[in-house]
Amino acid sequence: MTAIYLSGPMTGIPEFNFPAFTAACEALRAAGHEVVSPHELESSTGHPWDYYLRHDLIAMLTHCNSIALLPGWYDSKGAKLEFHVALTLGFTVYDVVDNQLVKQ
């Protein structure tokens, strides 16, 4: 099974977009995928932005070989960086559409 890193916008979105991350995780896992999601990596929200990005990139680099991008990812500085790293490393890239994977 391929581990998929879930990426998307968080900063400036109500509840850090956790409801969208949760819904996508549940649907992708129900479809049999192993999912690593930043919203599950850290329970505290009081750290600076770069703290979370470091944790997210470490999780992505060490556990995944695919990335799934939530709607609005292209407006997120962190998600764009995660996408760039994933692309550079040869990850399979998906968009999440209606909580399903669509290969780019």
pLDDT at 42: 67
- The string of pLDDT tens digits covering residues 3-51 is 999 999 998 999 989 999 999 999 999 999 999 998 987 666 688 888 8
CA 44/CA 36 separation, integer angstroms: 17
Domain ranges of the chain: 3-8+20-71+79-103
**Coil, strand or helix at 31:** coil
Helical ranges in 7-92 per DSSP H: 18-30, 38-41, 49-63, 77-88
**Coil, strand or helix at 71:** coil
CATH topology of domain 3-8+20-71+79-103: Rossmann fold (3.40.50)
Residue 16: count of CB within 10 angstroms of its CB = 16
Task: Pull the structure tokens for residue 16.
Answer: 């850090």
What percentage of the chain carries pLDDT values higher than 90? 71
